[in-house]
Amino acid sequence: MFKGKLLSLSTLFIALISSVQSAIHYNQGGSDWTGTCATGKSQSPVDIPVDNISGSSINSKYFRSNKLLDIMVSQKSMSNITLQDNIYTYQYSFSDGYLAFWDENDSLQTFQLLQFHVHAPSEHTFNGQYYDVEVHFVHKHTTENRLVAFSVLFDTKAGGDKENEFIKSMSVGAQNQSVISTLPAMNLFKKLDMNQLYHYEGSLTTPPCNEIVSWIIVHDPQQISSAQVKAFNDKWKNNQTFAAGKGNNRGIQNLNQRLIYKKDDPRASNGVNLIASILPLFVLLFGFF
């Protein structure tokens, strides 16, 4: 019963996310998109003031650190996945992944993975700085009509100019609908410094730009080789036919009084280990980790 409801909600969300794909274009970085994209006040992406000390980001004054913020990402082995070339992104649908999110108000929410997809260059900026690639793991709330987008960054300078095994396994440039045997997502997640966690409430970064997305960003740029970045850029950023040589990233949106939270580093604040305390919950809910 519960599962049936969950599945139909997920189907609805997949429909919502895929319905306008053909109409998505980046000729003006999204500034000509209409509807909520144009009128919304809680849009994404935004600039994240990672270096608050200098106050160099325009969003510095809305930056708060928080002890309660935490997440846990759990992923079944990603196998037999289809690469879908949506022209404006590569998308991989997969639903055997879960994410537990402890927000800044100490409220625990659980989400199920729907799909992940790629933007190059990054959509979010960090003190105004772009990274080479940003991958969004889009998760659906297990009971409500809300999404979490879990964002992982890749950069040849900040992360190192070395081949990334996760990116490699994505088979970029392979034929549309190619089946990928395995994607080592957990290997990628285990490498991330989950203390570098940022959260704010925003929107889908593609039309219809619904304001239903809790953004969770790990500011820990991962290694990627120049050749791997080039494979994405050949398709979007350096492709005159795609959007006159622009990437598939929406322009930065106004924060409009929203707060951006950063997880307090427990090594500095002596905070409790929430991850350890929700492990049993994960086993109970999803039967694995």
Residues that bind ligand NAG (CB under 6 A): 52, 55, 60-61, 63-65, 80, 84-85, 87, 103-105, 176-177, 234-235, 239, 241-242
Using an 8 Å Cβ cutoff, are 141 and 109 in contact?
A: yes
CB of 65 to ligand NAG, least distance (A): 4
CB of 84 to ligand NAG, least distance (A): 6
Residue 106 or 165: the one with the smaller Cβ distance to ligand NAG is: 106
Please tell me the distance from the alpha carbon of residue 91 to that of residue 69, in angstroms, as a whole number.
28
CB of 12 to ligand NAG, least distance (A): 19
In eight-state DSSP terms, residue 244 is: S
CB of 282 to ligand NAG, least distance (A): 20
- Whole-number Cα distances in Å, 32 to 28, 213, 250: 6, 21, 11
What residue has token string 């009509």?
145
Residue 49 or 221: the one with the smaller Cβ distance to ligand NAG is: 49
CB of 191 to ligand NAG, least distance (A): 25
3-state secondary structure of 44: coil
- Dihedral sign computed on CA atoms, order 129, 134, 137, 140: positive
3-state secondary structure of 143: coil
N- to C-terminal Cα separation, the chain: 24
- Dihedral sign computed on CA atoms, order 84, 220, 215, 25: negative
What residue has token string 């080039």?
230
CB of 270 to ligand NAG, least distance (A): 17
Residue 130 or 232: the one with the smaller Cβ distance to ligand NAG is: 232
Please tell me the distance from the alpha carbon of residue 44 to that of residue 36, in angstroms, as a whole number.
11
Using an 8 Å Cβ cutoff, are 142 and 6 in contact?
A: yes
Residue 34 or 56: the one with the smaller Cβ distance to ligand NAG is: 56
Residue 85 or 96: the one with the smaller Cβ distance to ligand NAG is: 85
Residue 60 or 225: the one with the smaller Cβ distance to ligand NAG is: 60
CB of 239 to ligand NAG, least distance (A): 4
3-state secondary structure of 283: helix
Burial class (CB in 10 A: 0-12, 13-18, 19+), 132: buried
Residue 84 or 160: the one with the smaller Cβ distance to ligand NAG is: 84
